[in-house]
Amino acid sequence: MTDIKNVLLAGVGGQGILLASEILSEVLMLAGFDVKKAEVHGMAQRGGSVVSHVRYGKKVLSPTISDGTADVLFGFELLETCRYLSLLKKGGQVIVNNVRISPPSVALGQQDYPENIPGYLRAAVDDTHIVNGMELAEQAGDIRTVNVVLIGALSLYLDIEKALWIQAIKAMVPERFLDINIRAFELGRESGITD
């Protein structure tokens, strides 16, 4: 079991989490790992909670990450990242997009969106990295590339050569969107970490 690594992707529908988990799974397979992936959709519409479990190693039997075993909590939205902190292992790492998307209870005025989530995450997990993904996606030329910007930031923390990440993106992204997604990946990799 010790050779198995776990990455939990968490966010909301419409953020491109499923494509990001496909790219991540592809790069891990290209790197020679056995990979298992499972997705959970809280709501089948844009704005609902979406989580993807990605496990890799020499031999992986189960696709789901148990509480306290995730090596990396890879968050696409701040509050959703907090929601899944219990899955992160002690000494694990948080890489999170610095964006707030109000859940329905906040949008309807039933609750307030918590203040200073980045500060809370940094206090809870020593190894926390905040990524300004939206700004970088705008720099890339299309806000919809934020998921690939975040993949670029994640690539800094996984010991897989850059060429394999590019190969995985080429395999998963339609050719007409390839140039802008490669640019987004490069921006995430070069300047995605703000702290």
pLDDT in tens, 77-136: 999 999 999 999 999 999 999 998 887 777 778 888 888 999 999 999 999 999 999 999
Any domain includes 89: yes
Q: Does residue 144 lie within any of the structural domains?
A: no
Whole-number pLDDT of residue 48:
78
pLDDT at 21 over 80: yes
Domain assignment of residue 146, yes or no: no
Sign of CA dihedral 190, 152, 15, 78: negative
Tokens standing for residue 105: 């209870």
pLDDT at 156 over 80: yes
Looking at residue 105, the DSSP 8-state letter turns out to be H
Q: What percent of the chain has pLDDT over 70?
A: 93
CATH of the domain at 168: 3.40.920.10
Using the predicted structure, report yes or no on whether residue 42 has a pLDDT greater than 70: no
- Of the candidates 103, 137, 105, the residue with the CA atom closest to the CA atom of residue 11: 103
Question: What is the reported pLDDT for 13?
Answer: 86
SS3 content of the chain, % helix, strand, coil (to 5): 45, 25, 35
3-state secondary structure at position 130: strand
Taking alpha carbons only, the member of 142, 155, 132, 144 closest to residue 72 is: 155
Q: Which tokens in the block code for residue 91? A: 């000494």
Q: Could you tell me the pLDDT band of residue 75, with boundaries at 50, 70 and 90?
A: very high
The chain-wide mean pLDDT, for the chain, equals: 91
Residue 155 inside a domain? The answer is no
Q: Tens digits of per-residue pLDDT, 43-68?
A: 545 667 899 999 999 999 999 999 99
Q: Decide if 125 is inside a domain.
A: yes
CB 33 within 8 A of CB 103: no
Burial level of 66, CB count in 10 A (0-12/13-18/19+)?
exposed
Q: Which residue has better confidence, 96 or 14?
A: 96
Residue 187 lies in a domain: no
The stretch 163-191 carries a mean pLDDT of 95
What's the predicted TM-score (pTM) here?
Answer: 0.91
User: Could you tell me if residue 186 is inside a domain?
Assistant: no
Whether 45 is in a domain gets the answer yes
The domain total for the chain is 1
The pLDDT of residue 1 is: 43
Query: Per residue in 140-164, is it b (16+ CB within 10 Å) or e — as a string?
Result: beeebbbbbbbbbbbbebbebeeeb
Its domain, for residue 58, covers 5-132+160-173
